[in-house]
Structure 1
Amino acid sequence: MGQFPDDETGDALNQFQENGFDLSKPMEVDFFVAVPSKSSGEYVAVKAEEAGFSVSVEQDVETGEWTCYCTKKILPEYSEIVKLEKQLDKMAGLYGGYADGFGSFGNS
């Protein structure tokens, strides 16, 4: 059991620590936003960019599903990640999408 709440966000942050990420330093965190189409993804991307995220919209070759990747350099604190996920979920909901987790390659 780690230092974070027992939920998906806490589990991911515990995994970050297990992977050797320094959670006391900023890192680029990639938030995944599932969207129903390329055009929906592009609308979400515009809103996310306005909120300070770097964005890309991509289609999975195997499943055909669309994802808007929203990246931001942040201090990976539990409350900050939850706040950003809620913000992205609200944006995506306007276009039939939803926040679908996050990940990182760690500190650069």
Structure 2
Amino acid sequence: MTDLDSLPHDADGDVLRQLAENGNDLSRFMVIDFHIVVPDEQSGHELGEIIKQAGFKPDLWYDEERDEITLAASKLMLPDYQALIDAQVELGELALPLGGTLDGWGTVGNAGD
């Protein structure tokens, strides 16, 4: 189990604390959705193939509210702080050559499982 007091006080640590406070078990797997803003649909499809090879499930969609094309990169994983940081670094490095920008992550958690 993650020691909530030992988590850094940054955006990622804050989200993990909030997940735990909402009844999610941080020692159990959950689907994490990382969001990558891409410049166009073609780049999104290309990046989708690349992240698939890295073990993520791609889902490309148009965010009308923000007027952006977003590639969700989903992965079943433990919501571990360092694993989340590592995944964000990896996805950011994969996205950069295609003009993609990592735009955070989210999850529906596992409280209802």
* TM-score category, normalised to shorter length: over 0.9
Q: Hey, what does 1:67 align to over in structure 2? A: 70
| Cα offset, 1:3, TM superposition | 3.7
Q: Structure 1 vs Structure 2: percent identity of aligned residues?
A: 36
In the alignment, what sits opposite 1:45?
48
Name the CA distance, whole Å, in 1 between partners of 2:48 and 2:21.
31
1:91 aligns with 94
1:82 aligned partner: 85
11-20 vs 81-90, greater mean Cα deviation: 11-20
1:103 to 2:106 alignment: yes
Alignment: residue pair count:
108
Q: 1:2 Cα shift? A: 4.4
CA distance in 2, matches of 1:31, 1:44: 13
> Contact 1:3/1:14 (CA < 8 Å) preserved in 2?
no
Give me the whole-angstrom Cα distance separating, in 1, the residues matched to 2:53 and 2:100.
18
Mapped to 1, the partners of 2:5 and 2:44 lie a distance apart of 34
Question: Residue in 2 aligned with 1:30?
Answer: 33
Deviation (angstroms), 1:15:
1.4
What runs of 5+ residues in structure 1 fail to find an aligned partner?
none
Matched, 1:9 2:15: no
Structure 2 CA distance for aligned equivalents of residues 4 and 98 of structure 1: 25
Match of 2:57 in 1: 54
TM-score (normalised: structure 2): 0.89
Distance in 1 separating the partners of 2:19 and 2:37: 22
Structure 1 consecutive aligned stretches of length 4 or more whose deviation exceeds 4 Å:
none
